[in-house]
Amino acid sequence: MAIEGPLRELGIHDVFQLLDLSRKTGRLRVTSALRDNEGTVYFKDGRVVSATVRSNPHPLGAILVRAAKVDEATLEKARATQQEPGETRRLGEILVAQGGLSQRELDRQVRRQVEAVVFELMSWQEGFFSFAEVDLDGMSVDATTTVTTEALLMEGARRIDEWAHIQQRIAHVGVVPSLAPPDAEHPSSLDLLPHEWEVLAAIDGERDLRAVAASLGRSDFDVAKIAFGLVATGVIVVREPAPLATLRSEPAELATLLNDAREALRDQRAEEALSFSATAIALAPRDPEARLLMARALFLLERDMEGEEELRHSLELDGRNANALMEAARLAARRGELGQAIAHWQRVVVASPGSPLADQARDAIAHASRLSAVLEAVDA
């Protein structure tokens, strides 16, 4: 049986706890249209065995090389073995079998990989989750581990508290870090730890923290925490990305984004419409039209439940938006919920009585009422 719903109704912590208590085996997918991101977590008997996130996939090979646990030659040898005909072992298993890595070290590194993904997912406040019971033999992953869900939840809660502290200087991982201007009056030498030097060397003044984290194979949390310390000591400064800063200073850009989203929807370019509307929501999270356009894009992509969530957001922000009401009516009608559809159409007539939409709503009410009467007669 599928378990699914919006994160605003059942938070990711509660989802993990539910799967743990019910000892579920299968795949959990968490999607966020606003973040344009998706995470996948595999469970076995309620415990997490693997996790990936699209924005920062944390490939096992890169993690092992960065941590100096294997060298490039050893990794390439294992990958070559993995490509041989009839070879079914995962990359981690091959590395252990060839003596390139101990089983204990593999388990430790995979656990860190899983934790990084899960802790990132736990920071998502909006989105949609879906769990399905599937055969774990078909997992396309380099290695698996076993992590108790209870331990992940406890550490996740601690990290959320730490995030609140980090956000005092690092508002989000979309900020762009750059080296602070030198202080000619008080010159000083840098005394940094190796992981701080690693992050500092990756900062180019153009990429945001999320891109820096991805380039290093580190989690967003780890890089944000390091950046917090670098900002606090005056080594770096952070700023909003230029396009977003421009949008915030020019409200006309919001109208342009909405028009671009509408045009993309007219041409059935759903992915582009989703991108335009997501950018508009980042600029104006409480704009009902942006939420409606995102809902329509999600419907085109057949991501119906996410679309319904965005449509509900739109109507919460403006319950008299005739276009959103029409969309809600069509959705109810497709489900066969004629009474609900008629109620939405009636609200369209009240909200915009002299508009073409109101005429369409009146016609729809008439047709639906006749159909409802026929169905009642058949049932009788």
Residue 170 lies in a domain: no
Q: How many domains does the chain have?
A: 3
Residues 202 and 53 in one domain: no
Residues 283 and 334 in one domain: yes
Residues 155 and 204 in one domain: no
Domain boundary residue, one of 218, 239, 260 = 239
Structural domain including 156 reads 3-164
Give whole-number Cα distances, 169 to 147, 164, 166, 194, 264, in Å.
32, 10, 6, 22, 37
Q: Is 315 helix (H, G, I), strand (E, B) or coil?
A: helix
Q: CA-to-CA distance for 360 and 188, rounded, in angstroms?
A: 72
Residues 155 and 101 in one domain: yes
Domain boundary residue, one of 239, 269, 291 = 239
As a whole number, mean pLDDT of residues 73-91 equals 87
**pLDDT top residue among 375 and 14:** 14
Residues 311 and 260 in one domain: yes
Using alpha carbons, select from 254, 282, 283, 259 the residue that is nearest to residue 272. Answer: 259
Q: What's the predicted TM-score (pTM) here?
A: 0.59
Using alpha carbons, select from 141, 62, 145, 152 the residue that is nearest to residue 111. Answer: 145
Residues 190 and 139 in one domain: no
**pLDDT top residue among 244 and 28:** 28
Does residue 203 surpass a pLDDT of 90? Answer: yes
The total number of residues shown for the chain amounts to 380
Residue 346 lies in a domain: yes
* Per-residue pLDDT, 247: 44
Instruction: Provide the pLDDT confidence category of residue 187 given band limits of 50, 70 and 90.
Output: low
Residues 245/283, Cβ–Cβ less than 8 Å: no
Q: What is the pLDDT of residues 113-143, one digit of tens each?
A: 888 888 888 888 778 888 988 888 766 666 6
Please report, for the domain that includes residue 259, its CATH number: 1.25.40.10
